[in-house]
Amino acid sequence: MAIIESVPNFSEGRRADVIQALVDAIQAPGVLLLDYSSDADHNRTVITVAGEPDAVLEGVWRATALAAQRINLYEHRGEHPRLGATDVIPLVPISGITLDECVTLAHALGRRIGTELGLPVYLYAAAATRPERRRLPDIRRGEFEGLLETIHLPERTPDYGPAQVGPAGAVVVGARPFLIAYNIYLDTSDVEVAKVIAKQIRESSGGLPAVQAKGFLVEGQAQVSMNLLDAEMTPLHVVFDEVARLAGQQGIGIARSELIGLAPEQVMLAAAAHYLKLQDFRPVHTVEGAIQQALSSRKL
């Protein structure tokens, strides 16, 4: 059975009734709600769902339609860059399906959003139709306000939907491998420190491979906000150690860190093995992993 994950990001993190309505709308029949979190400073909600492709696409479409009705980008303010009420919809292959097949699904979803909701849609990552649209930050440059001024230009023509912007803005849809959204809070209120560290570690500035990063001030605390695009290439613990090293050079410590959404078990086990200096540590060395292996062997 084909299973995909989707992690749509919505530009609402303050109104509890709208957030709950989005969570309810996305749970179409067959959709598994795995996680959701909201941040008032970013004014953003991230919902993680999984299931068979048709079910997930239906759930995400329902939530996108609701967001277009309930979220007005003319009034929206928040720390996180955004282009639309439903800002981005990634589709991720989990099992029984390829990334190329998720690209086809992204096109189908984008076409439906553009046709039925009348929203401009841009395709990114593996689904991108142009090289300059592969990276989400490139599509989102200028944000909603900038899109109002530039959508008529040839280079900003949407992949689907009209070349006009309303209160719901535009939607970015794509297909990609698993991504880890990870934030580190510094023990300081100086946001410039976070911005400098973010620039030092992100790949586009010559930092760590497959890492995107920005610096924010969240609840009075400097935050280095990151997307890890390939945790095998640059593991979670490597990112943590590098941010800690750069902060330490300025006499600043790490207050805490957080995951936004979910992370693969192997990523967390690799971090634990790194700090505990465990050699050749694998999931089967955990009680749960050993039980799962035993049950799988019995089924065979």
Distance CA 201, CA 275 (A): 21
Distance CA 51, CA 281 (A): 30
Distance CA 17, CA 49 (A): 20
Q: Which residue stretches of the chain have pLDDT < 50?
A: none
CATH of 3-175, one of 3.30.990.10, 2.60.120.380, 3.10.450.50, 3.40.50.720: 3.30.990.10
User: Residue 212 has what pLDDT?
Assistant: 95
Is there a common fold for 3-175 and 180-285? no
Query: CATH number of the domain at 180-285, please?
Result: 3.30.70.670
User: Residue 67 has what pLDDT?
Assistant: 98
Q: Which is catalytic among the residues 80, 107, 152, 274?
A: 80
User: Residue 174 has what pLDDT?
Assistant: 98
Active site annotation includes 285: no
User: Residue 206 has what pLDDT?
Assistant: 96
All structural domains of the chain with their residue ranges: 3-175, 180-285
User: Residue 298 has what pLDDT?
Assistant: 77
User: β-strand 9-10 against 44-51: which pairing, if any?
Assistant: antiparallel
Q: 144 vs 164, 175, 227, 255, CA distance in Å?
A: 12, 22, 21, 32
User: Residue 300 has what pLDDT?
Assistant: 57
User: Residue 244 has what pLDDT?
Assistant: 98
